[in-house]
Every structure is written in C-alpha cells, then in structure tokens.
Structure 1
Amino acid sequence: MLFASIFMVLLFPTFAFAADATVPELTSAINSLWVMVAAILVIFMQAGFALLEAGSTRMKNAGHVAGKTVLTFGICALAFWAIGFGFAFGDGNNFFGTTGFFVDGTVEQATKSFSSLAFSDVGISLKFLFQTAFAGVSLAIAWGGFAERAKLSVYFIFGLLFTVLIYPIVAHWVWGGGWLADIGMQDFAGSTVVHLQGATAALVATILLKPRIGKFNKDGSANLIPGHNQVLTVLGVIILWICWFGFNAGSTLSVMGEGFFGYIALTTNLATAAGAVAALVVSWIYFGKADIPAMLNGVLAALVAITAACAFVEPWAAVVIGAVSGILTFFTSQWFEKLGLDDPIYAFSVHGIAGIWGTLSTGLFATKELAAKVAIGQAGLFYGGGWHQLFVQAKGVFGAFAFVAVLSFIILGIIRVTMGLRVTEEEEIIGLDLSEHGTYGYPEQMKKANNSAI
C-alpha cells in the first residue's frame, strides 16, 4: 500500500499535464518516470550490499564495511559523471567513447555524443543516473575481495580508477556500440558488464591481499570465520532481490508497448527462486545441514546469472539457469577455499562464476523470437541457432575477464609497492572500525567484549 501511494504521488504530475500532452510526450513522461523509479531501486541496492557485507564480516569491521559503501558510491558517481559515462556511452570507436564527458543533461550534448542511447525517448540525465547506479553496483561487488584487510585509502584510488578506466571500457564494448555489440553479444542488464567485471577485480584483490589472519592453518586447511549477524545478511539479500527488478526490468528503459518489462520481471523472479531452493538443497546434501549462507549465495548467484538472459529466454529456461547458478556457486566457493583463496563475501563465486554461466546461457537458451524482439544477437544452440551465439558469448566473457584482470593487477600492483594495500597486522587484529575510523560500529558491544578480555 505504501509503495502504491508513493508511485501515485510520483505519477500525479504526469496525469496533470496529460490532457494537454501529445501521445509522444505522454509516452516519454511515463517512460521517464519508470527509469527514475528503476534508478532509485538500483541505487538502493547499495543498502543491500552494505547489510550483506556487514552481516557477513566480523563485528569489529562492521561499521567500516557499511560506511565505505557510501564513500565509494560517492566517488563512483563523481568519476562516472566526469569521465566514465563518456568512455562507456559516448560516440567514439570500437574500444571506448571519446565524447560526452562532464554530463550536462542537455539535449544538445545527448544528440551529439550519445547515439548508442538514442533508442530510448528518456532524457540523458535519467539515462546517466540509471547507468551510474550500475557502475556503483559493479564497484560494490569488487569490494568483496578487499573486505576486512584493505586500507581505506585503497578504496579512494582503486574506486576512482575502476570507475574511469576499467568499468566503462567493457560497458562500451557491449552497450556503447563497441566491438562486442557489433558481433551481437547478448548481455541485457550486465552479467558480464556489471557482475563479472566487479568479481574479477575482487578476485585480483583477494590474490594480492592474501588471506585474513587466522583463515588458514599451516597445513592449508581453512578455518571458518563466520559473519557476525546472519539476520542482517538475510535482510540485505531480500533488499537486493527486490531492487533487482529495477536492475533487470528497468533496463528496458520503457514500460510502453506490450509491457516487456513485466516479462523480464517474471524470468528474473523464477530464476531467483530456483537458485535459492537449489543451493539450500545441495548444501543440505553436502553438509547434512541446510546452510543459510549457501541459500543466500544461491539467491544472489541466480540474480546475477539471469541478468544477462532475462530478456532472451523462456520461463522454464530461467528456472534452469537459476538452479544451475545456485549449485555452481556452492561448489566453486568450496573449491576456491581449498585453493587457499580467502574471499570473505564469495564475490567471485557469486558474481563471477554465475556471471559467466549467465552470459553463456543465452548462447544455449535464447529464443529466435526474443532475440529478434530485443534486436540483439541470434537464437541459442537449443533453439536452432547453432554454435554461433555461444561462441559470441564466450568471446565476450574471455575479453572482459582478461581486460579487467590485467588492469586490476597493474593498478593494485602499483598501489601495493607504493603505498601498500593491506593494513598492519595489529590494525587487522584490532579491527578496521577502530584502526581506520577511531570508533566501533557496535561501540557498546565491543566495549563489553574488551572489558571481559581484561
């Protein structure tokens, strides 16, 4: 009821001028309102990530983990406005855009600089806001590999460079008229562009930062470092599930016509439900107990996987994609830990492996009718399209992963040898809340714990 009331308030100006508006003006106004709502939902995903990451880490780092979410989104928004959006969507060449920097919201700049976005009648200011939210999500994913041991200063530098030099380049390849767009890569809302990019940066950070103190024993066996608040983690995942409808369905940039955004919401929800159930069941079989964190990772993995495929596949295929992603994420997270990787939020399993699977899945399940409707690529292998689309998807995955991995290694490698990536051992033991910010996220609880230790 509350959401309906808010939506009606937002819609009131549209009704007010509808009597005097032409059909194109009214259509544009309604589409603009939809993109604004979708952008708000995607930005609110930052709240979901803050709760998810804070709940999945230890109490002594909770304030730091949640607070840096606000900081890094601010850095991302400014950097994307100044340079990133132009590189991603500005007219240029097959590798990056060369126009549209310092977005001013004018029709003149939109006409001269952003032909890749001309398919939508929504104004450039809203298109920019919507895409800024996407860039912020990719950066938030990357931070999973930094959790509980990276210096706060690293978030400033890498956040800026990721938003300017890494994320927008791959976004241009796929969505801005670049070389992957030319060959028909299908990534409707960003399994590769958003999630694989962030996950790849997280993987590089995980390798360079090395495991948290106490994570592994001398024989290589892993110790469980549980998050401090599973309820926060659950709430974060529920928020992300809801906000993902803005992420996927909002990528239509329109609610007009046949209401295709509703179909995308359908496939998104079915995949997510399948991922949750499949991951919980497989964890129950594997551990002998139903593991809640595994189920939550299954939800997120399914959301990630269906993000590329939501506009291209039938409902039954969405269920398969979601279920497979939940199972893949569960087993790969176990495997990476056995390899000695300490990924506190399972960023690469959830967003990387699932992002790869989701991107490749369109090469299997994309239907001819839906591919034609979206006007991107061809039908998948199981719908008479042969191997072509699967090969295109694989090229996109490999190209994006290699580009992000190399640049992330270079940037983080330079940071490591110049100013350092990781806090000192003493600071890590104390916790980043106190060592980086001078106060705890849970001051009363930590005070009690310290007094008990004394």
Structure 2
Amino acid sequence: MKTLFKLAGLASASAFAALPAWAQEATAEAAEAVAEAAPAAAVDNAFIFNTLLFLIGGFLVFWMAAGFAMLEAGLVRSKNVTMQLTKNIALFSIASIMYWVVGYNLMYPGDGWSIAGYLGAFSPKSIGGDPDLATGYSAGSDFFFQLMFCATTASIVSGTLAERIKLWPFLIFTVVLTGFLYPIEASWQWGGGWLSEAGFSDFAGSTLVHAAGGFAALAGAIILGPRLGKFGKDGRVHPMPGSNLALATLGTFVLWLGWFGFNGASQLALGTEADANAVSIIFANTNMAAAAGAVAAMLLTQAIYKKVDLTMLLNGALAGLVSITAGPLDPTLFGALWIGAVGGVIVVIVVPLLDKMKIDDVVGAIPVHLVAGFWGTMAVPFYTEGTSFVMQFIGFASIGAFVFVASAVVWVILKATMGLRPTQEEEMLGLDKAELGLEAYPEFAKG
C-alpha cells in the first residue's frame, strides 16, 4: 500500500513539475497567435476608424448646407427668402445626383484618366460589394464625404447672385458646376492630377472649394449685373439690409460647427495615434482662425465706422475659416490666429471695394471665399515644408482661370437662351411671389 502511495506521489510531483513547461508552451503559442492576428486587427481597426471619420466629417459638412441656407435667408430681403431656401435645398439635391452620375469619377479617376492629369473618367460611381480593406476606408464613406465638398462649392454661388436670378437658370448652372467644373479642377490636386505632381498644396480646399465657388460667383455677378437700385447714377451705393440677422448669425454658427468636419476629416485617417493627434490640432487651429477673423473684423469696423457691423463680424469669422482651410494642420495656434485675423481684415476691405467696382455680392461670398481663399492658399508655405509661394500662386491662378472662364461661358449661354434675370416688375415684387408664389413671412405682407 505504501508503495502505491509513493508511486502516486511521484506521478503527481512529475505532473506538477511539468505544468510550468506546459504553461510556457501554451503562452508561446498564444503569443504567436496574437502576433499573427495583430496586423489584421490593426488593418480592421484602421478601416473602421477611417470610415467613421469620413462619415462624421461628412454629416458635419452636410450641416453646413443648413448654415448657408440660414445665412442667406438672413442676409436677403424678406421678399426673397423663400427663393434662397429653395435654391439651397435644390442645389444640394442636384449635387448629390450629379456627383454620382459623373462627378466622382471625374475627380478620382484612379488609372482611368481620359486625359492624364487633366480630365478624369466619365462614368457613374459604384460603392457596392464587399469592403476592400487595402483602401483603408469604405468606398461609400469616401463618396459621401467628397460629395459634401462638391455641394458646398455650389452653395457659395447661391448667396452672391441672390435676389435677381431666376430659379431654373441657376439650377442648370448648378448641374454643370457640380457635375463637371468642380470635379475637373479638384482632380488636378486631390485626384492625383498635374497640380499635385507639381507640388501645389491645398489641404481642405481654400482654392479647390472656396475660391472655385467664388470665381463661379464672380463670373455670374458680372454677367448678371447688380440688383435694381443697388447703385445710383450718382455713384452712390444704396444699402439693402437683410431681413433677419438672427438667422444670419445662426447660419454662421452652423457653418463654424460644420467646418470642424470640413477641415478635420480632411486628414483622411483616424486609424493611428498620430492621425488622432493631427485631427485634434486641426480642430483647434480651425476654431482659432475663425475666432481671430471675427475679432479682427469687429475691431476694424469699430475703428473705421465707429460702430461694430454684425454682418462684417459674421463674414470675418467665415473668412478666418476659409483662410486656415488650405493648411490647418501645420501652423501653431498663434499661426492660426494671425492667418485667420488677416482673413477678417480682408472682408472689411474688400466688401466696399466690390461696391466701388459695382459688383453686387449680396452676402459677401466673394471676399469671404475667393479673396480669403487666395490668402489662405498663399499662407501655406509659412508653415508647411515642401511648398512654395510660386507654386501656390500658379495653382490658384490655374484653377481660378479655368472656373471663371468656364463659368462665364455657361452664364452667357444661359443668358442668351433662357435669360438669367426676372423682369423689373418681378424683381421689385420679390422672387418669392413672382416665381414661387410662396412667401416666407406672409403675416408681414398682410400687415
């Protein structure tokens, strides 16, 4: 019996002695399995977070459509508010369709350029099928995010030409702008075209989106002419105050909020600690530039006019945002401050300058988006390595010339074929009644 107990004891001791070896072997196997799975898990996580960034950034930029609508509704006269609201929701809807039908593949042709570096592919975008993890993000999220930028470009044009353009010519122009003009010029940089190869830099679109929209608006404003009564025969400028500054202020705050998606998601990645840090820096710089633009415009209007002009303050914030958009990652917070502040100063100077030139810009979109877009593009080399002032100017001038000339051609054709302006009687009555038969403030009209 004792012998049996001894044998059992020896067996137990042997088993316990072998446990560390078994544990080490199991741990090694587990570690090896984890090591093999780690790269795949990292790819999966990066794909998920990058896609999430695109989607969140996309719906923030979508909210900017509401900002433009409120800003324009507040800065036009009450008899034209419904028209501006109609144009804004219609242009976004048209952009959504046109960017799918032809715009996206014109802008991002991959290897399918029609003319290498200059003209992409004419085909609808497909987002179906299983996800391709190698791309780093969902095809649907990228399409959704890039579409928002396309629609923003058209929104800029809407405000400048307010109160004296008919609905359908404007919407036909929107078809051309969102389906062809914007995608073509944006492909030169973001689609891997000739500007990106030459060293031009525009992180989130000071030139590609904002200045492009400003050039299209400028061409339209020149061809369309000013509103009735805006400029007197004696050269005097007759102010035409907006209907609701509360709405205009709300619109500015909505645009400010949306800009965090506009600039932040343009990092195009959130799958690493470095990307997450970059997005946070972009958010902080974007906010600082907007704040500095607003303060600069406020101080300058106080100094010039002896009182603060709210409309200049609002546009100063927007100009600060446009100014930082070309390079929101590399500047310090102080850099973002002075870049944005210059944008605010630009607004206060350029708005009356356009009046002297008899160019009627109802909401100040040309100073905010075109001129501040130029400034923001030219400010990039102050902080971003590998960029040059010469190449920045060439890129801006090339895109500006293309969009302005092409837009002018479209505007002239529309003017010759279907006409751009309503009659004088319709314009004086207001486009809400004349074209839509629906007023934004019917109680006021009855009173």
Q: Is the partner of 2:188 in helix, strand or coil?
A: helix
Pick from 96, 113, 134: which aligns with 2:119? 96
Between 1:312-321 and 1:281-290, the stretch displaced more is 312-321
Deviations 1:285-314 (A, max 9, x none): 010101111110100001011000102322
CA–CA distance in 1 between the matches of 2:214 and 2:72? 14
Deviations 1:137-172 (A, max 9, x none): 011001122200101111221000111221011100
Shift of residue 98, structure 1, vs aligned partner: 1.8
Q: For the structure 1 residues 395 and 119, does the alpha-carbon distance in structure 2 shift closer, same or farther, using more than 3 Å as the test?
A: farther
Alignment of 1:122-133 (within 5 A): 122-133=137-148
- Kindly tell me the number of residue pairs found equivalent between the two proteins: 403
Structure 1: which 4+ aligned runs deviate by more than 4 Å?
A: none
Shift of residue 253, structure 1, vs aligned partner: 2.1
Native 8 Å contact 1:314 1:367 kept in 2: no
CA–CA distance in 1 between the matches of 2:238 and 2:62? 35
Q: For the structure 1 residues 64 and 314, does the alpha-carbon distance in structure 2 shift closer, same or farther, using more than 3 Å as the test?
A: same
Question: How many percent of aligned residue pairs carry the same amino acid?
Answer: 39
Between 1:155-164 and 1:280-289, the stretch displaced more is 155-164
Look up the match of 1:439.
438
Deviations 1:4-57 (A, max 9, x none): xxxxxxxxxxxxxxx9x8232122112212211110000110000000001000
Look up the match of 1:140.
155
Asked if 1:224 is matched to 2:239, the reply is: yes
Pick from 281, 297, 306: which aligns with 2:299? 281
Equivalent AA in structure 1 for residue 121 of structure 2: T
Alignment of 1:31-430 (within 5 A): 31-91=50-110, 92=113, 93-98=116-121, 101-106=123-128, 121-257=136-272, 258=274, 259=276, 260-363=278-381, 365-368=382-385, 378=386, 389-430=388-429
Native 8 Å contact 2:323 2:339 kept in 1: yes
Q: TM-score, normalised by structure 1?
A: 0.86
Deviations 1:326-351 (A, max 9, x none): 00111011111111111101111110
Equivalent AA in structure 1 for residue 330 of structure 2: F
Equivalent AA in structure 2 for residue 56 of structure 1: L
Asked if 1:23 is matched to 2:38, the reply is: no
Deviations 1:39-91 (A, max 9, x none): 00001100000000010000001111012111111111100100011111113
Q: Is the partner of 1:175 in helix, strand or coil?
A: coil
* Runs (5+) with no aligned partner, structure 2: 1-37
Shift of residue 216, structure 1, vs aligned partner: 1.0
Equivalent AA in structure 2 for residue 88 of structure 1: M
Native 8 Å contact 1:203 1:347 kept in 2: no
* Runs (5+) with no aligned partner, structure 1: 1-18, 112-117, 369-377, 380-388, 449-454
CA–CA distance in 2 between the matches of 1:153 and 1:169? 23
Q: Is the partner of 1:309 in helix, strand or coil?
A: coil
Equivalent AA in structure 2 for residue 106 of structure 1: G
CA–CA distance in 1 between the matches of 2:214 and 2:175? 17
CA–CA distance in 2 between the matches of 1:342 and 1:35? 36
Equivalent AA in structure 1 for residue 315 of structure 2: N
Equivalent AA in structure 2 for residue 283 of structure 1: T
CA–CA distance in 2 between the matches of 1:282 and 1:256? 43
Shift of residue 204, structure 1, vs aligned partner: 0.9
CA–CA distance in 2 between the matches of 1:119 and 1:293? 47
Q: TM-score, normalised by structure 2?
A: 0.87
Q: Is the partner of 1:234 in helix, strand or coil?
A: helix
Equivalent AA in structure 1 for residue 138 of structure 2: G
Native 8 Å contact 2:84 2:158 kept in 1: no
Shift of residue 107, structure 1, vs aligned partner: 5.8
CA–CA distance in 2 between the matches of 1:409 and 1:65? 22
